[in-house]
Structure 1
Amino acid sequence: MTLLDKDGVRLAVDGAVATVTLANPAKRNAQSPALWRALTEAGRALPGDVRIVVLRAEGKSFSAGLDRQAFTPEGIDGELSFLDLAHASDETVDETIAVFQEAFSWWRRPDVISIAAVQGHAIGAGFQLALAADIRVCADDVQFAMRETSLGLVPDLAGTHPLVAAVGYSRALEICATGRFVHASEAERTGLANLVVPAEDLDGAVADLSAALLGAPRDAVIETKSLLQGAASGRSYEEQLAAERAAQTRRFRDLAGAGE
């Protein structure tokens, strides 16, 4: 069932699995504020019984990054030019970027597990969108690159935190500061990719992983994801032990029906 199809984004739901597709292969799924608004809308439109969200893209490339027209004086039709934004107040710039970031931040909400199926180029905003997902399954032709710093900018679409979490500070800094390509073998070796498969097997591998993730009870998965996110966000060892105890207490009571 298709719930959304606009501005290069399509949302379809099949039972507990939702699929968000970047659907503008002619432009290598270049991104724009309109696409980001559609991604945010897709997240808000998810039915409550969805447990897995797959992020995929049509064509040979996952996403070539931001539509370069955004940096021209005329900008993208109907959108504020980034050159105009540069002359806005600090508050306006902050608020505008915060709205853009919503398209990238909802993928890690606790009630779903998100999987990015990434093939071909994932550049700049495309790289950050892949990083937005909990898990990345990549085709063996994947090429990641964070080009923002090379253009005099910074990665500002929620990508810095998951990149450091995946590959560590030193490698993340080197990847961002050089803007170089990270190919499939390095992505898998460093933890940027959870799994690398031949390009023709990408959809099948994601389907198999989705089925495996649906095997455990939903509430247990939600609690486990929350625990792991807390550990990754800097809880102390003792704080994490306390969080584990509290989560397990909830699980005991739920399974025994004692919480009713």
Structure 2
Amino acid sequence: MAGSHAGLLGDATENLILKAHRELKTRIPGLRGGVFSLHKNLPVAAGLGGGSSDAAAALRLLARLNELTLDDPRLREAGEAIGSDVPVCIERKARIMRGRGENLGPAMVLPPLPAVLVNPRLALSTPAVFGKLGLRPGESVAGGHASELPSGADYAAALSYLAGAANDLEPPAIGLAPAIEEVIDALTATEGADLVRMSGSGATVFALYGSEAAAAAATGRMAAEHAGWWVTTTMLR
């Protein structure tokens, strides 16, 4: 393992990449494997799905090596055994997720979304955030989108669609880590920030901008004004 955050991963044998290999191997006797190299550049426990996307990438590589199609049900079964958000990462397409994440809607085509990601260098426990949300078993939160974003939507349409849904985990996460609210306020104050939300169960916050230049300028401002935070710019698709 390498990368700026590799030292925080803990026991390598418990990494989700190796778990993905083990789970698929139990479903496919004689599965061919290999050696995995991980560059961990995302913060740990940041609400970005880093571990889940790593596991999905491992499943995709194993599928290619063993001549499996990505819609092979055994890939999805292995993904679900690792985590609820792994299956959506296997095909790398935007989808509405329902239930625990196992119910996937049709693939959506998003326009390029210039974004800035900021984490106050806090690792936040997902079970702790859900615990503070306080849902009873089988209970769900009302709201969200009933339909997918229409194909061919431009930035303005995508922004309107995304603005119509909040992150219900944001209030409980802020209750556990008040610094998240500081990040939200700081990003909201940057020029051109069209939408600011916490990502997943936190503590990372993202902001969307109408251009790569605006996102780059916001990244520079955040890095200069908050030297202790992790800040990066990216393109969501």
RCO higher in structure (CA 8 A, sep ≥6): 2
What range describes the TM-score normalised by the shorter chain of this pair? under 0.3
Q: TM-score, normalised by structure 2?
A: 0.27
> Which has the larger share of strand?
1
TM-score after normalising by structure 1: 0.26
